[in-house]
Structure 1
Amino acid sequence: MRTYQLVHRLVLPSDLETAPGVLQAFPWTCESISNLFDGKHRAQKESWDTVIAEYGGAVAVGRDKRANIVFPDEPSKTPKAFISPINSEIIEKTQVAWALRTNHPLDPLLVVTHNRCIFVWDVGRQSLIGFLRGHGGLITSIAVHPCSPNIFATTSADFTTRVYNLDILPQSPYPPHPRWRPWPGPSAASAAQGFDTLADQGSGIGRRIVLLAGGIYGGHLWDVLGAAFHPRLPLIATCGADRYVKFWRCVPGQSMIREDKPIFSAKLSAARIFSIAWLSDDLLMIHCGMAYAPSPDNPNSRASQDPNSEEESPLHYEKTVPARIVVFRWLGLQRFFPDGWTNDAIQHVRGISTDSQQSNSYTIISSLVLNPPNPPRHGEQQEWISNLGQQNHPRLIFAYPDPALRTVELTEMVTLQVPEELEGVTRDIKRLRLESAASATSASDQGLVHISILGAEKLWKNRVLSAAAVTNAGDILVLDSRGNLWGMRRVHDK
């Protein structure tokens, strides 16, 4: 067991009593300047250290159409706040992410989403410098390129993922569309999931450069929930509610590209996949949710009711597959990116139909079960929350809405074994399918470390956790649905 001590509590302003939230700790350190933008700004190391001294302990909180930047370790620092200028009654997660521009690496930016739109906020000047029209559905996550933080992607419930470049300006106005008979003038519409409409893309800085479309040709068929850029190759991985993981070509540039066929697509879970991250060139980790099914044996289940009855009772669910963290290896890396490949070669990378529909070029490395801390109450369908999609800390923190915390190191996940029931299977076949792993009866949670919070029993009573993060210093931050940000520091291990 790992013991932490509550060291601070911040109360964030909000117009709602309860609202979902997102946490994003400042992702860079003093050493990061050597890797950002291919080391272009190494000569500015001294100025970069000044930026880290200013923002190294900052945390961005997205909640209730606003973004707050707070400094938990330095209460004397004045918090910064951005409030969306768009009024909307829709309650959604206000996504936030840190970003930089290539020619202005010393000016941290915050990308904020609200009401399907994207705002770029200059943190130092506290001014809005960019507005971009986003998706046709709610935005579910933001992923920033780990080495080129001027590139970021947003995923959405409209089945698409869209990639933006903060170094260039929005294209405005668009050239007129061709005339389509019998209409006398140019059309103002565009193809489904396209982006060549007559409306402006936005204002200020930033331009949409890639659209990864959903659909029957290989794209996602349900909400896209997470994305992750490959740190070295022009690739982006996406995951979603359709239980698929997909890899796409992603060539940042000034011209707009539309992709509808990924080079890898596989169903890797029995339930939704919330987030994904690259661990190495061909090793990835995904966070899968719990799979539910109606219980026919329960007297309250609709499946057990008289079909002629007009009365309906609440549908009772029981878990059939627990949540999991899965590490898998992509076996097709060398086929698409052989040794000695060049950036120009990515233009010719194309997969076959099995690659874009249901690829077999993967193998499961390890699988970790995430059991709920307590037996769920009747009708409860709560999911674990993780910081896997943040891509900035090797420690994974898992928070359960009914307050409970677990942690695991990424390096430990790679060394975990597949459940014992599957050992014989892995000897006989080269590729282990996740469907087999999901159907295993093992409920082992080896590798997870339970976290004990000193003095938290009374403080957390009747609270619901909505986000968790780990700072560069290793402290744990937890946000509850009432807008309280809790900071915890490690004390000792048992």
Structure 2
Amino acid sequence: MSTPSYARYHVSKQVIYSNESSTNASIQPFPWALGVKGVEDNLFRGRVSASERWLATRVEFSPAVAIVDSKSLYILLPNGTPSYCFPLDTDLQADPQDRSQVAWALRSTQLSDPLVIVANNRRIFVFSVKHRKVYGYIRGHGGIAVHPTLPNIFATTSADFTTRLYNLDHEIPLNEDNPIWPPWEGPAMASAAHGTDGVDSAGTGIGRCFQMLVGGRSGGHNWDVLGAAFHPRLPLIATCGADRHVKIWRINYTDKTVFREDKPLFSAKITTSRVLSIAWLGDGILLIHTATTSTPATEDPSQTDPELTYETSGMIIDPGTIDIIEWLGFKRFFPDDGRIPDQSLRGGASDYLDSKSYLVLATQKLTFSGNIPTNPITNISQPPLLPGYFLLVDPESMEVCLSHLLSVTGRTFPVNNDAGDSLVDMTKRIRLDDNPSPLQNEIGDGTLPAERLFQFEALESGERIAACALMATGEVVILGTRGRMWFFRDS
């Protein structure tokens, strides 16, 4: 790979959004900005027309940014519109390990009223950006994933081994008779997202839970679920977790009751470390990001690879990876004959217990400037933004890796969107490796090209990176831990 250049990006704007410090923060730009092509063709299965009202909504909120920390939601609006802060309920004792998250969403019948979904301290808030009020309150869960083409659908992941799917077009029922859930003999009344054995309400307002992907021995996750990603075209959702597994589930779009699924279409232990995040790259193609691992140092040096491991305090630190995998059973469930997938789609035990029907296409170690590897902050772009790009921030070295799949594999994959021209243009403009070559055995050379977007003297003492995001225009947004954010443009 080529030597990284540290002078290509410049700060186009700096914003101070808060006077308080926070390491527990997340950021997401408005995903349907004017720079995104083919939005009307993909959004809600092409049922959205390029009306003046929808165009006005895109103009109004391009390029708005939503930020959340442990105490507040911040909406930064463009075009001179006053930005504002919405305080969250802080009466509950916050879990320091529960990271607040934010994502944009839409209802299929209210396109002119964009929503922001906030996960904060095991609660989900559905917030109207235009009307500045909460439309829905849902109990439980932490991680958020919004469907890229049906943004009224979103999923939450949790340490209770489950993933929950919600529909913003429907209100949360006050009393709902759920199916019988052993060992109880009668139906369980309303299940909040943190469990299935309570009688308390799941929440109020919009955001009805219509499916729960159950953990356990039948095929679900056996540890914390850390990430989820919807397939943009098919009724599929992929999940990953601390149990080192990747699972692919069918989605049952029911509006009658909570549909519980405990057997995925695919389940495999892909790596030997936690899988932190996941994204679809195409039909049957997934990108995953794994965590660093620590093992006691061996007395026999021949048992370790000094180029790929780091020894400190008697421990061997193995860097995390970016892996691209292919689900070989995809065509078996979704053949190329135009048939609509059956809602009763189900695989066998060899699919949902420990499947071998996958292939690792590429692996890239995540190291920055030779430092002892840590778990970087990730942002993997999916439709409608720039699929195929990923952004990695190392909070220790203050370095940022902005790259395309070409820098990992030396080749491209079919992407399910109509923004092919813009992808080619963006690849030429912001990919750090200008002359990628096919990797030997499709395995990376140990490091990713990094772009030092920050100048160290520009940071106050103790300033760190809290979150990062990639905008549709190609700008990189970095969120600091002291209430500041920076927008970087390619020179």
TM range (shorter): 0.7 to 0.9
Is contact 1:5-1:454 (8 Å) kept? no
CA change 1:179–1:324 in 2 (3 A) is closer
1:246 pairs with 2:247: yes
1:419 Cα offset (Å): 6.2
> Kindly tell me: are residues 190 and 287 of structure 1, through their superposed partners in 2, closer, same or farther at Cα, counting changes over 3 Å?
closer
Confirm or deny: 8 A CA contact 1:367 1:419 kept in the other structure: no
| 2:111 pairs with one of 105, 108, 116 | 105
Equivalent of residue 398 in structure 1, options 375, 392, 395: 392
1:181 and 1:154 map into 2 onto residues whose CA distance is 26
What SS does structure 2 have at the residue aligned with 1:8? Answer: strand
Greater Cα shift, 452-461 or 79-88: 452-461
Q: Deviations over 1:56-115 (max 9, x none)?
A: 1111112123221114x65x4321322222522323321110000010112100001112
Q: Deviations over 1:367-396 (max 9, x none)?
A: 1111133433xxxx7311111166532432
Q: For residues 99 and 243 of structure 1, do their structure 2 counterparts lie closer, same or farther at Cα, with a shift above 3 Å needed?
A: same
Q: Do the aligned partners of residues 77 and 456 (structure 1) sit closer, same or farther apart at CA in structure 2, a change above 3 Å counting?
A: farther
Give yes or no for the alignment of 1:55 onto 2:47. no
Q: Tell me, yes or no, if structure 1 residue 19 matches structure 2 residue 12.
A: no
* Residue 385 (structure 1) aligned with residue 374 (structure 2): no
Contact persistence 2:40–2:50 (CA under 8 A):
no
For the Cα contact (< 8 Å) 2:148–2:382, is it kept in 1?
no
1:114/1:144 CA distance change after superposition, 3 Å = same
- For residues 209-232 of structure 1, give each alpha carbon's deviation from its aligned partner in whole angstroms, at most 9, with x where no partner exists: 110111111111111111000111
CA contact (8 A) 1:366 1:413 kept: yes
Cα 1:459/1:147, change in 2 over 3 Å: same
Amino acid at match of 1:204: G
- TM-score normalized by structure 2? 0.82
- Match status 1:337 vs 2:341: no
Partner of 1:293: 295
| Match of residue 40 from structure 1 | 47
- Is 1:410 aligned to 2:405, yes or no? yes
| 1:366 lines up with 2:367 in the alignment | no
**Gap change, CA 1:352 and 1:401, over 3 Å in 2:** same
Please identify, of 198-207 and 112-121, the stretch whose mean Cα deviation from structure 2 is larger.
Answer: 198-207
For the residue of structure 2 that corresponds to 1:120, the secondary structure is strand
Matched, 1:347 2:356: no
> What CA distance in whole angstroms lies between the structure 2 residues aligned with 1:131 and 1:365?
41
Q: Which residue identity does 1:35 align to in structure 2?
A: N
Aligned partner of 1:142 among 136, 141, 144: 144
- Aligned partners of 1:174 and 1:200 also within 8 Å: no
Distance 2:240 2:181 in 1: 38
Residues 340 and 10 of structure 1, relative CA distance in 2, 3 Å threshold? same
Aligned counterpart in structure 2 of residue 326 of structure 1, from 323, 326, 329: 323
The Cα of 1:21 is off from its aligned counterpart by 1.3
Which digits, 9 at most, give the CA deviation of each residue in 1:44-66, with x for residues without a partner?
A: 2x222211211111111121232
Query: Residues 432-460 of structure 1: CA distance to partner in whole angstroms, max 9, x if unpaired?
Result: xxxxx7xxxx7533xx3321337454426
What do the CA deviations read for 1:188-220 (whole angstroms, capped 9, x no partner)? 697997647432221111100110111111111
- Once the two structures are superposed, residues 415-446 of structure 1 have per-residue CA deviations (whole angstroms, 9 ceiling, x without a partner) of 368964x57xxxxxxxxxxxxx7xxxx7533x
Alignment check: 8 A CA contact 2:191 2:198 kept:
yes
Secondary structure of 2:452's aligned partner: strand
1:355 CA displacement: 0.8
Which residue does 1:130 correspond to in 2?
136
Is the contact between residue 275 and residue 389 of structure 1 (CA under 8 Å) also seen in structure 2?
Answer: no
Offset at 1:413? Answer: 3.6
Superposition deviation, residue 257 in structure 1 = 0.5
Query: Structure 1's 171 and 293: CA in aligned 2 closer, same or farther, altered over 3 A?
Result: same
SS at match of 2:282: coil
Q: After superposition, give the CA deviation of every residue in 1:299-356 in whole Å (9 maximum; x if it has no partner).
A: xxxxxxxxxxxxxxxx94634432111111111011111233644x432311111211
Q: Which amino acid aligns with 2:48?
A: H
Distance 1:65 1:191, change over 3 A: closer
Tell me: CA distance 1:186–1:154, structure 2 relative to 1, closer, same or farther (3 Å). Answer: closer
1:375 aligns with 2:371: yes
Q: Which moved more, 1:361-370 or 1:76-85?
A: 76-85
Distance 2:180 2:135 in 1: 33
The Cα shift of 1:254 comes to 0.6
The 1-side partners of 2:296 and 2:12 are apart by 43
- Quick one: which amino acid aligns to residue 121 of structure 1? F
- Cα distance in structure 2, aligned partners of 1:175 and 1:257: 12
Mapped contact 2:326–2:360 kept (Cα < 8 A): yes
Which residue number in structure 2 is paired with residue 426 of structure 1?
A: none
CA distance in 2, matches of 1:483, 1:68: 11
1:5 aligns with 2:10: yes
SS in 2 for 1:35: helix
What is the RMSD of the two structures over their aligned residues, measured on CA atoms?
A: 3.1
Unaligned 5+ segments in structure 2 are 301-311, 412-436
2: CA distance between counterparts of 1:407 and 1:323? 17
Q: Which residue of 2 aligns with 1:486?
A: 486
Q: Hey, what does 1:429 align to over in structure 2?
A: none
2 CA distance for matches of 1:111 and 1:192?
Answer: 15
CA gap of 1:195–1:460, structure 2 versus 1, over 3 A, is same
Normalised to the residue count of structure 1, the TM-score between the two structures is 0.81
Q: In 2 relative to 1, CA 65–374 (structure 1 residues): closer, same or farther, beyond 3 Å?
A: farther
Paired residues, number: 441
| Percent sequence identity over aligned pairs | 37
2:283 paired residue number: 281
| Aligned AA (1:382) | T
The code of the aligned residue for 1:393 comes to L
Deviation at 1:181, TM superposition (A): 11
Question: Which 10-residue stretch deviates more, 408-417 or 34-43?
Answer: 408-417
| Bigger-Rg structure (1/2) | 1
